[in-house]
Amino acid sequence: MKYWRVPLDSEEVEVTQGVVHIIKDRCKGCGYCIEYCPRAVLEFSKEFNKNGYHPPRVRAEGCLNCHYCELLCPEFAIFSTEATAEQAAV
Amino acid sequence: MGSPAVKKEVPVPHPLEDLVRMERIPHIWCSGCGTGSVFTACLTAMKNTGINYDDFAMVSGIGCSGRGAGYINIDSFHTTHGRAIPFATGIKMARPETNVIVFSGDGDLFAIGGNHFIHAARRNMDITVICVNNFIYGMTGGQAAATTPHEAKSSTSMGGNPESPFNLPLLAYAAGATYVARWTMLHSRDLADSIEEAINHKGFSFVEALSPCPINYGRRNKQKPLDTLREYHANTIIKNNADPGELGIDFKQKVILGKFVDIEKPSHDEQYHRLYHETSTKS
Ligand code: SF4
Ligand code: SF4
Ligand code: SF4
C-alpha cells in the first residue's frame, strides 16, 4: 500500500501491510496460525523442518501486520513486522 | 539492517527474544499445547507495561506450565509443588517494589497449592497470578484435577468425572482478590491486555487462561487441538462484570469470559508498611 501522504491517524489506526516471518525449525506444526490468520495468508508447507513438522508458509499476499499469529503461536516461531516502503510496493 | 527486499532470509529476531532463554527453545511443551501461547501473552504483557525487566520476578510451581520460570530471561524461581505463591509472597515482602508474577497451572495453584492461593488473595498480596487452566494434571499423565469438568474423561475417570470443578474466578473473588479475569489462549489479545492490567493493578490479581492439553485431556475427550480452539470460539461469551457465581465451567453451556472484578483496596505491603514502618519512625 502506498500513501501519497501519511494519514493523520496512522498512529492509532493500523492499516499497515505486514511481512510474516517464519522461523521454520521452531515450529511444531499445530496449525493455529494457519487456521486463525484473519487474512488466511498462511498454509502448511510440504517440507519438513528439522524436527519433522510441516511449518506454515505464506500462500497469499495480504498480511495486515495484526500480530495475531505472533501472539497465538506457542513456539515463538512466527511474527510479523511492518512492510518497508520497498516491500509494500511489491 | 540487511537488505529489505528479501522476505524470509533477513534474520529479524522474534520480538520476545530478549525475554526468553533462547538456548532452551524449543521448549518441552507438546505440539498444540496452549501453555506456550499463554506464556507468550504474559511476556507480551510484561513488555507492554514498559516496566524495566529487572523490576520483575517470575515464580512457577510444578507441572507443565511450571516450566515457565525456566524459560523466562529475568529473575525467576522454579519452586516446590504448590508453593509458588508463598515464594512470591516472600519476594514481595522483601522487595515491595518488585512486580511479582506467578505463572503456574491449575493443579499446582488450586489443588496442592489451594490454601496458599486463598490466603494470598485474602491478604490482597500485591502479586499477579496467572493460571494456565487445562482441566487436567498434564505432566503426571492426565489424572482428574480440581478443575476437570463434570463428566469429562481423564485417566482416573475413564467413565466421566463424577465431581464438579472449581469455579476459579468465584473462588478468587470470595477469598478477596481485587482483580479477576478469565480468557482463553485463543483470545490472545484480550489475554495479553488483561495480564498487563493485572500487572499494573495494585493488589492481588488473578487471570485464568483456558488452554488446551491435547495430549492428556484432548485425546481422552475426543478433541483434536483445533477442536478445542473451535470450542473456545463457539462456546464462550464475553460478559465483563458478570456475577462470579455464574462462572462455573461447563461447555454444554457458554463459558463466560471477561474481567469480573477490579476494585481498589490497600494491598498487604501497603498496610504492612503503614503499621510497621511509618508508625515506628514517627514515634
Ligand atoms: S500478522 Fe495477522 S494477517 Fe499477518 S500472517 Fe499473522 S495473523 Fe495473518
Ligand atoms: S502457530 Fe507456531 S507452531 Fe503452530 S503451526 Fe504456526 S508457526 Fe508452527
Ligand atoms: S502434557 Fe498437556 S499440558 Fe503438558 S506439555 Fe503436553 S499438552 Fe501441554
CB contact under 8 A, A74 and B20: no
CA distance A78 to B196: 22
Please compute, for residue B202, the number of CA atoms within 13 A of its CA located in the half-sphere on the CB side. 10
Between strands B128-133 and B76-78, the pairing is: unpaired
**Which atom of ligand 2 approaches the CA of A42 most closely?**
6
- Residue A1 belongs to a domain: no
| Res A85: pLDDT | 76
Record the cell numbers describing residue B42, joined without a space.
Answer: 504474559
**Interface contact A37, partner B, CB < 8 A:** no
- The residue type of B44 is T
- Cα angle, residue A35 at apex, residues B219 and B46 outer, rounded to 5°: 90
User: A30 in ligand 2 pocket by Cβ < 6 Å?
Assistant: yes
* Ligand 1 pocket, residues with Cβ under 6 angstroms: A 18, 20, 37-39, 41-42, 63-69, 80
| Res A16: pLDDT | 77
- Residue A11 belongs to a domain: no
- Cα angle, residue B105 at apex, residues B230 and B43 outer, rounded to 5°: 80
Residue A73 Cα to ligand 2 middle (Å): 5
CA distances from B207 to B185, B191, B221, B250 (A): 12, 8, 25, 19
Tell me the chain B residues in contact with residue A31 when contact means C-beta distances shorter than 8 Å.
Answer: 225-226
User: In this predicted model, what pLDDT tens digit does every residue of B1-60 receive, in sequence order?
Assistant: 444 554 555 578 999 999 999 999 999 999 999 999 999 999 999 999 999 999 999 999
| Res B2: pLDDT | 47
- Stronger pLDDT, A86 or B74, i.e. the higher one: B74
Does the domain at residues B29-282 carry the CATH identifier 3.40.50.970? yes
User: In this predicted model, what pLDDT tens digit does every residue of B171-216 receive, in sequence order?
Assistant: 999 999 999 999 999 999 999 999 999 999 999 999 999 999 999 9
| Total of domains in chain A | 1
What's the N-to-C CA distance of chain A in angstroms? 9
Tell me the chain A residues in contact with residue B36 when contact means C-beta distances shorter than 8 Å.
Answer: 73-76
User: In this predicted model, what pLDDT tens digit does every residue of B116-170 receive, in sequence order?
Assistant: 999 999 999 999 999 999 999 999 999 999 999 999 999 999 999 999 999 999 9
Closest partner CB to B35 (pick from A53, A74, A76): A74
Q: Residues B251-265: what's their mean pLDDT?
A: 96
Domain interval for residue A69: 18-89
CA distances from B220 to A32, A34, B155, B213 (A): 21, 25, 8, 10
Q: What is the CATH number of the domain that holds A32?
A: 3.30.70.20
- Stronger pLDDT, A84 or B221, i.e. the higher one: B221
